[in-house]
């Protein structure tokens, strides 16, 4: 018999906060955990020291279980020495100029080493480690389990879920094409892995022996009830929580989610070099019109140089407005209210 998420993670309700790369906050993560769900925190781009400090801050805010998330390398990442950034810098020059920022020079590295990140996570001992963009190594899974850390994999297709199950993960997030943010496909190109939640979840449930967490298009009690009807053991929710005041989203980002219609989001590589779902703005249109997009993670680093300043200024036209297709259902601005609404859809 497949375990419940409550038993697996020691939580009260099978509701998981989506781990936002760059938009997670200690306040939101701890709020979801304190409410009885599994709060999650995205560690994309974090150094080992920053990971240690972040998990320590989470432990100080809640004694309840929480998860942290790492991006696995897919093998197609470029280093500063492997990519000519000048064309992409030129294409984004109007955005830097608008903010009065100097055009950037390439860094020594785009991303920290995964091994150092993983070691910091293991040493800090969160309740769970979730991963995206691949299958965790046998060594990482064993090391996590030896410390009592559960491992969550993320799949966009049935084949990905099967590979994750075979690797020994404790649960699989089946994330449909409706979900906001990056499409975390790893076996086939993301454009060839756009399976909707309603089709994906039951097929993953039939294919694996671990609990399946449904993600994508779930923002209220109706989505939760539907996920359970499809065989899921729980749900992972992003945009509805991102809309709340406890997230690290800017006010402009929250307003964009609040105003979003069902057709408001698009899939783009403009902001990071990898396919992601978000709400179009001037930055996205400028880059797409230029036709010049550096490969990941170079593009993500480049746009991050102006996105950070735009975020500080509250300029929603020059940040990444990640959101899913159910953003229009994200109507609550407090995490406790979102959680209560979602919990109302969990079968008794």
Per-residue model confidence as pLDDT tens for the chain (348 residues) = 888 999 999 999 999 999 998 999 999 999 999 999 999 999 999 999 999 999 999 999 999 999 999 999 999 999 999 999 999 999 999 999 999 999 999 999 999 999 999 999 999 999 999 999 999 999 999 999 999 999 999 999 999 999 999 999 999 999 999 999 999 999 999 999 999 999 999 999 999 999 999 999 999 999 999 999 999 999 999 999 999 999 999 999 999 999 999 999 999 999 999 999 999 999 999 999 999 999 999 999 999 999 999 999 999 999 999 999 999 999 999 999 999 999 999 998
What is the pLDDT at residue 1? 80
Decide: 294 and 282 in contact? Cβ < 8 Å. Answer: no
Least Cα distance to 38 among 69, 60, 81 occurs for 69
Kindly report the number of other CB atoms within 10 A of residue 192's CB atom: 11
> Edge-to-edge strand order for the sheet containing 15-17?
15-17, 234-237, 212-215, 171-175, 150-155, 128-132, 66-71, 39-42
What the block records as the tokens of 16 is: 């998981």
Q: Determine the pLDDT at residue 95.
A: 97
| 325 vs 258: CA distance, rounded Å | 12
pLDDT at 326: 97
d(C-alpha 300, C-alpha 295), whole Å:
8
Going from the N-terminus, what domains does the chain have, and what CATH number goes with each? 5-343 (3.20.20.70)
Report d(CA 108, CA 206) in Å as an integer.
45
pTM of the model: 0.97
């Amino acid at each position: 018999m497949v375990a419940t998420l409550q038993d697996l993670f020691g939580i009260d309700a099978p509701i998981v906060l989506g781990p936002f790369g760059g938009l997670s906050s200690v306040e939101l993560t701890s709020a979801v955990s304190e409410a009885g769900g599994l709060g999650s925190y995205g560690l994309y781009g974090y150094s080992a020291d920053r990971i240690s400090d972040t998990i320590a801050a989470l432990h100080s805010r809640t004694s309840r279980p929480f998860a942290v998330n790492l991006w696995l390398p897919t093998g197609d990442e470029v280093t500063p020495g492997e990519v000519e950034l000048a064309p992409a810098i030129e294409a984004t020059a109007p955005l830097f100029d608008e903010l009065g920022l100097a055009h950037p020079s390439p860094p020594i590295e785009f991303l920290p080493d995964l091994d150092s990140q993983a070691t910091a996570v293991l040493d800090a001992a969160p309740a769970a480690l979730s991963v995206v963009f691949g299958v965790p190594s046998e060594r990482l899974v064993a090391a996590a389990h030896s410390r009592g850390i559960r491992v969550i994999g993320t799949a966009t297709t049935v084949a990905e879920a099967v590979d994750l199950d075979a690797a020994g993960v404790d649960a699989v997030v089946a994330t449909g094409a409706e979900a906001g943010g990056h499409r975390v496909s790893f076996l086939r190109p993301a454009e060839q892995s756009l399976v909707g939640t309603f089709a994906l979840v039951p097929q993953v449930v039939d294919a694996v022996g671990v609990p399946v967490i449904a993600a994508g298009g779930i923002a209220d009690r109706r989505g939760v009830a539907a996920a359970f009807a499809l065989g899921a053991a729980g749900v992972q929710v992003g945009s509805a929580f991102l809309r709340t005041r406890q997230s690290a989203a800017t006010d402009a980002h929250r307003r964009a989610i609040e105003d979003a219609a069902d057709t408001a989001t698009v899939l783009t590589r403009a902001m990071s070099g990898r396919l992601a779902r978000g709400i179009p703005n001037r930055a996205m249109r400028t880059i797409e019109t230029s036709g010049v997009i550096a490969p990941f993670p170079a593009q993500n680093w480049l746009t991050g140089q102006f996105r950070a300043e735009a975020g500080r200024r509250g300029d929603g036209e020059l940040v990444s407005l990640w959101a899913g297709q159910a953003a229009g259902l994200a109507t609550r601005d407090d995490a406790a209210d979102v959680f209560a609404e979602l919990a109302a859809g969990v079968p008794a």
